[in-house]
Structure 1
Amino acid sequence: MQVLKTGFHSWCAGQLAEGCKRCVQGRKLVLFITGLCGQRCFYCPVGEKKFGHDTVYANEWKLGHADDPKELLEEARLTEATGAGITGGDPLVKVERCCEYIRLLKREFGKDFHIHLYTPLRLVTEERLKALHDAGLDEIRFHPDLDDRTLWPRLDLAKRFDWTVGVEIPAVPGYARQIKEVIDFIAGKVSFINLNELELSDTAADHYKLDEMGFEPKDSASYGVKGSDVLGRRMLAYAQKKGLPAHFCTAKLKDLVQVKNRLKLRAESTALPFDVKTDEGTLLRGCVYLRGLEPGARTKERVAMVPEAERIRFLSELKARLADAGVPEEKIIIDVAHARLIIPRSVAQRERKLLRSHGVPALVEEYPTADALQVDVEFV
């Protein structure tokens, strides 16, 4: 078993876990099952709008109701997912929801739809693990506390079930001793360890401490923490010597491979006939926004203040005016959620004077995600 560089900006010793193989293809849906968690990891990147709140997301799509996860199934179809990774928060806070969703996904997409789950050890019991196993969970990844090994023996409970067991932890600079202790403890007990490059976060959650602890980005273009990549590769070599298959997952892999591939798959499913798809997985399109609801400060809040029925009425009237002015009706798409009409870029450029008299026209580059996160907006 050698330490080798992969073709997707990471290093591994031994075989990648099945969940990782599908992840790098962009075919793993990220299922954020709840923001509730009893753990307070100082490096947890989860944003304050999610952490501590019982909310569910399928990739970037917030589910309207946890007990009616229709958005989950639609997101899986749109991204051509062949599996899902369940995360949080701590999924075991809502273990019944986890089991329900696992059964739903397996029923909808077949037994080969690969599902893995991340959890700290705080709520691990044989009963909860059995429920997950019986529901059809394929792979479980534990996140042991690096500063307190009291609960580490709970890892042994997972070996009682027929599934893949792994450990996943960040490569925290200054924690070489603790990471070696984890590797020593799990070698021969689990199938693999994943070491993640530690990344800074913009979260305002109270327990997040990386900034005040003095951690810095490795360069101006990355959220990766200085020293984490060097430590990660050192620990990978240590795991290899212990005979433990290991993978060091970099920030670059997540951004340039995993997310990019997932975005490109979703773009293929959601792009309008006149949208331009980029190699980065973004969409180029023209838009006409309702006045006062164009992109800017607190856009989401401003849009939310206008009742949906009113937005539909205003946008329908705007579409009719543009159609009367000669814009082909089939090239005017109403987007109620973002208070805009979507049109070809060529129309936005050619008819900008006309469009300005009715709304706020713009050339937009955005992600093909449910939240339509914008990369660039140029008002015309």
Structure 2
Amino acid sequence: MSPVVKTQYHSWCTGNLSEGCIQCVNGRKLVLFITGLCAQRCWYCPVSEQKFGEDVAFANEWKISDPKNPVELFEEARLTNATGAGITGGDPLVLTERCVEYIKLLKKRFGKEFHIHLYTPLKLVTQERLKKLYDAGLDEIRFHPNIEDKTLWDRLNLAKQFKWKIGIEIPVIPFLEKEMKELIDYAKGKIDFINLNELERSDTQTSHYKIDERNLKQKDAISYGVKGSKELALKLLKYAQSKGLAAHFCTAKLKDSVQMKNRLQIRAKNAKYDFDEMTEEGLLLRGCAYLKQLAPGAGYREKIKQADKQKLLRELEIIRKTVLSKWETPIEIDSEKLRIILPIEFVKKHKLALKKIGVILAIVEEYPTADAIEMTVDFL
């Protein structure tokens, strides 16, 4: 096995990266959160309280409104130029049939070469479920064994019956070095690779999240990475190398500075209006006109949820027509956030006249994602 080397993605590896990882670091893997249902309660699970335990599905940040007709899934794949998808949860095997359906739909829409991997604990792994996934076209399966309990480790053997890539993916927990080395020993010859994720703290409020009780601290003020995780991961890479096992240490910096950035840049280029400006990080800069009752501020998102959408869209259309009767300019109605989007220079030039129409103006920097989270809102 090749020596441990640092990659261009702020990560380390020995051997080759899996196809799923290669696509991911390039921002070309869609994250398909297929359900928040899960039979396990891992004390380090970062999934938010809005998702965990709920049967909700997301394509990246975009909630799939009807899981039986996942139109958002296909549109998100298009907007991000996705060449593959990673299925996660919760535990996807709680809804194996949904996984099978989505794998088939994605392969049919984007072709057999559209690479799909799935990440699952061992608790619900059976030969029958694995066969359904394999027959549907799953290319790569990644298991998340319970590091502190060997009871179900033998289920890794079930995956060897199928001609797909098999991996293990686990967070690197600083005080479990012995157990993780034992897992590497056990997995040798049964899997193709192991992914070691830097353990990160989460803002989740789920009751089973106990990272504070384990006395695990952030390594510094700017990272969610846990102190000691990276140091142990580098030791485990050398250990995996000594066993002839391909391994990759995926850092928090990779996820934020490489994978996420690449995906945002792609989506921004595809989702932006011609007049939108784009930052180097892939965020959008745009001029926005808000109705007075729906300007960004305290409770903004909740106000949008509770709003009479059709009534407000009619108001926005009246404003749009008023603007076009006075000026020749690109102008778009945002039906999700119930606002009007305009070129920045136009908003700055005509701010006094626009305010007389009865709108609140701002220059907004926001993510190009479906949830369009605002980074900055500068009111004019």
TM-score (norm 2): 0.98
Partner residue of 1:149?
A: 150
1:374: Cα distance to partner?
1.1
Partner residue of 2:371?
A: 371
Aligned-partner Cα distance in 2 for 1:34–1:370: 18
Aligned-partner Cα distance in 1 for 2:354–2:44: 47
Instruction: Report matched runs for 1:1-380 at 5 Å.
Output: 1-326=2-327, 328-329=328-329, 331-357=330-356, 358-380=358-380
Cα pair 2:120 2:143 within 8 Å, conserved = yes
Letter of the structure 2 residue corresponding to residue 341 of structure 1 = I
1:373: Cα distance to partner?
1.1
Aligned-partner Cα distance in 2 for 1:218–1:242: 29
The alignment partner of 2:248 has SS state of strand
1:212: Cα distance to partner?
3.0
The alignment partner of 2:294 has SS state of coil
Cα pair 1:106 1:113 within 8 Å, conserved = yes
1:353: Cα distance to partner?
1.6
Aligned-partner Cα distance in 2 for 1:360–1:325: 18
Summarize deviations over 1:210-236 as a string: whole Å, max 9, x none. Answer: 123221111111111111111111111
Summarize deviations over 1:175-194 as a string: whole Å, max 9, x none. Answer: 11111111011011100000
Summarize deviations over 1:306-363 as a string: whole Å, max 9, x none. Answer: 122112111111212222332x25x110001101100011112122222323211100
Q: Which moved more, 1:219-228 or 1:136-145?
A: 219-228
| Structure 2 unmatched runs, 5+ | none
Q: Which moved more, 1:22-31 or 1:291-300?
A: 291-300
Aligned-partner Cα distance in 1 for 2:242–2:296: 53
Percent of residue pairs bearing the same amino acid type: 57
The alignment partner of 2:292 has SS state of coil
The alignment partner of 2:129 has SS state of helix
Aligned-partner Cα distance in 2 for 1:154–1:221: 39
Aligned-partner Cα distance in 2 for 1:318–1:276: 23
Summarize deviations over 1:26-84 as a string: whole Å, max 9, x none. Answer: 00000000000011011100000000000000000001100001110111011000000
Aligned-partner Cα distance in 2 for 1:364–1:334: 15
Aligned-partner Cα distance in 2 for 1:40–1:354: 56
Cα pair 2:268 2:284 within 8 Å, conserved = yes
Aligned-partner Cα distance in 1 for 2:361–2:62: 26
Summarize deviations over 1:283-310 as a string: whole Å, max 9, x none. Answer: 1111011112111222121011112211
Q: Which moved more, 1:369-378 or 1:7-16?
A: 369-378
Aligned-partner Cα distance in 1 for 2:302–2:372: 15
TM-score (norm 1): 0.98
Letter of the structure 1 residue corresponding to residue 214 of structure 2 = M
Letter of the structure 2 residue corresponding to residue 378 of structure 1 = D
The alignment partner of 1:286 has SS state of strand
1:21: Cα distance to partner?
0.5
Aligned-partner Cα distance in 2 for 1:301–1:259: 26
Aligned length: 378
